[in-house]
Structure 1
Amino acid sequence: MAQGQIRKALSGYYYVEQDGELIQCRGRGVFRNRGESPLVGDVVDFTREGESDGYVMKIHPRKNELVRPPIANIDQAILVFSVKEPDFNTILLDRFLVVLESFHIEPIICLTKMDLLTDEELGQLTAYIEDYKKIGYEVMTTFKEDASLMARIQPMLAGKTTVLAGQSGVGKSTLLNTLIPELNLKTGIISQSLGRGKHTTRHVELIEVCGGLLADTPGFSSFDFDTIEKEELTACFPEFLRISEGCKFRGCLHMKEPKCAVKSALETGDIKEYRYAHYEQFLQEIFDRKPRY
């Protein structure tokens, strides 16, 4: 029995990396019987059958797992958001951040197209950037011809498993192409020829780059709050979590409860109004969610 990591899943085969070698493995039927499925990113025990074939026998406990794309054990996500065309959108950004926090994936915010902003817009955006930095998020900004972006991103990839996420049409594929030129993703042309809202089905693969692993699927698409319970939402807003220790009631939802430290921080400006408004909206979405059986 040997141990390795699934780097690619394709047509019922799992390609397990061990000491620089890829072994093509099948999953044992026991996984189907348990309703389990090995995922790209899984650390697994496997047995060899011949030179380059084998069977996945055991899946090690996961740090996290995503549904779309189906991938496990992600350390961080680079969130690519444009500031113009499409315009910067704090509620969409917060939606991404909340989902990432719920999976314990560290977000890195990357804002593109800064050169398109007017001076007034730049002032407003700078205030938002300072807000997110104060919360504790890494924020990078990039202009149209900004070669330094790659130099800033590459050290962040070392020793980590990273995915890309963000708005449509903001350059995730271009970013991937720059990091891994051999991928040669067809940027823009594919979406134009297929029509809006359609996508090509591509397998998920982890590729070694800059001393880390990068998922070659640009982003993930599951940004509802299906897996988050109302009591867990506070933990997905880091500044709320820190302040909520001062709430009178344990499990305070920061709505109408008396002596709520979060509501007090909102009044003093220590919590931003737009962040609280998004928290309220997301909490309502969780309340309105159909029960799961």
Structure 2
Amino acid sequence: MPEGKIIKALSGFYYVLDGERVVQCRGRGIFRKRKVSPLVGDYVEYQADNDKEGTIVAIEDRKNEMIRPPIANVDQAILVFSAVQPDFSTALLDRFLVLIESKQIEPLICITKIDLLSEAETKQIQQYADEYRSIGYSVLLTSSMEEDGLEELLSYLHKRISVFAGQSGVGKSSLLNALRPELELKTNEISDSLGRGKHTTRHVELIKVNDGLVADTPGFSSLEFTEIEADELPFCFPEMVKLSQDCKFRGCLHLNEPKCAVKAAVEADELLPYRYKHYLQFMEEIKERKPRY
């Protein structure tokens, strides 16, 4: 039975890359009965009808999967955030980071549009970049217009499956166009009235870049913690994971527990205050979430 990887899903068809050829496939009805949908990034077996068409008959086990964007078997997530237009937001970045950490996907923070910054704004963005690096995250500062940071970004994409994720209007498509100009992906100006970009990417597709595969995904502006439980959230903050070894209680949520090493670090200014603030906000959000039945 031939095998391949789904590189695009569109209008009920799945495009399977098998060697150098792409086969347009339908999914078998059995997947719908099992409530399993093939995802871009899936390794599949398919039954060939001819050289160009076939039917997916089996999906291999996934090492991870994301719901928004719908993609599986991701090696890393490039979290694209603009320095300005829209303004850089640590709250939104931390929200993305928690969701990526919960899937055990390696994040790379990519801050775009640095060519638009004043001297004072550049210092502020550099400070944020250094703070996230101190946690252990990789951070790139880039400009599609000036081509700053693009060579370094290319090196991260080599032989890996990467997903580009972030708000609409932050420059994901512009970055991919700068990396591979022949793609000519659609981009939109930011709407002044809304302060955010229009959705220009309509489907998930894996694109070859530097011997790797990159997903350009639909932009979105809000993310909910529908799959993360309160006792899982502390594991989505790497700096808290290290500190928690010194907490008095195993399973400490770093809220009101006595002899909590995380709270002690906050009081001693050894933990970024906005990170702990966001942690408390996310914890409250998870606890107030309506139960699922």
Is residue 188–residue 200 contact of structure 2 (8 Å, CA) maintained in 1?
no
Greater shift, 174-183 or 39-48, is seen at 174-183
Q: Does the C-alpha gap of structure 1 residues 52 and 125 become closer, same or farther in structure 2, counting only changes over 3 Å?
A: closer
**1:76: which partner in 2?**
76
**1:122: which partner in 2?**
122
Is residue 85–residue 190 contact of structure 2 (8 Å, CA) maintained in 1?
no
Report SS of the residue matched to 2:63. Answer: coil
1:99: how far off? 1.1
Distance in 1 separating the partners of 2:245 and 2:79:
29
Distance in 1 separating the partners of 2:57 and 2:7:
16
**1:3: which partner in 2?**
3
Distance in 2 separating the partners of 1:278 and 1:76:
23
Q: How does 1:92-131 map onto structure 2 within 5 Å?
A: 92-131=92-131
Q: Does the C-alpha gap of structure 1 residues 154 and 219 become closer, same or farther in structure 2, counting only changes over 3 Å?
A: farther
1:196: how far off? 6.8
1:257: how far off? 0.4
Q: TM-score, normalised by structure 2?
A: 0.91
Greater shift, 136-145 or 150-159, is seen at 136-145
Distance in 1 separating the partners of 2:203 and 2:80:
21
The alignment of Structure 1 onto Structure 2 pairs a total of residues equal to 292
Distance in 1 separating the partners of 2:229 and 2:245:
19
Report SS of the residue matched to 1:46. Answer: strand
Is residue 115–residue 146 contact of structure 2 (8 Å, CA) maintained in 1?
no
Greater shift, 89-98 or 144-153, is seen at 144-153
What value does the CA root-mean-square deviation take over the aligned residues? Answer: 2.4
Structure 1 counterpart of 2:11, which letter? S
Identity score, percent: 57
Q: Which runs of 5+ in 2 are unaligned?
A: none
Report SS of the residue matched to 2:149. Answer: helix
Structure 2 counterpart of 1:89, which letter? S
**1:211: which partner in 2?**
211
Distance in 1 separating the partners of 2:117 and 2:177:
25
Following superposition, which runs of at least 4 residues in structure 1 exceed 4 angstroms of deviation?
Answer: 189-192, 195-198, 218-222
Q: Does the C-alpha gap of structure 1 residues 135 and 109 become closer, same or farther in structure 2, counting only changes over 3 Å?
A: same
**2:278: which partner in 1?**
278
**2:184: which partner in 1?**
184
Q: Which runs of 5+ in 1 are unaligned?
A: none
Structure 1 counterpart of 2:202, which letter? R
Q: Does the C-alpha gap of structure 1 residues 197 and 119 become closer, same or farther in structure 2, counting only changes over 3 Å?
A: closer
Report SS of the residue matched to 2:231. Answer: helix
Deviations 1:150-202 (A, max 9, x none): 2111111111111212233222221121123232123225979xx97753572
Greater shift, 105-114 or 56-65, is seen at 105-114
Deviations 1:10-29 (A, max 9, x none): 22221111111112222111
Is residue 69–residue 220 contact of structure 1 (8 Å, CA) maintained in 2?
no
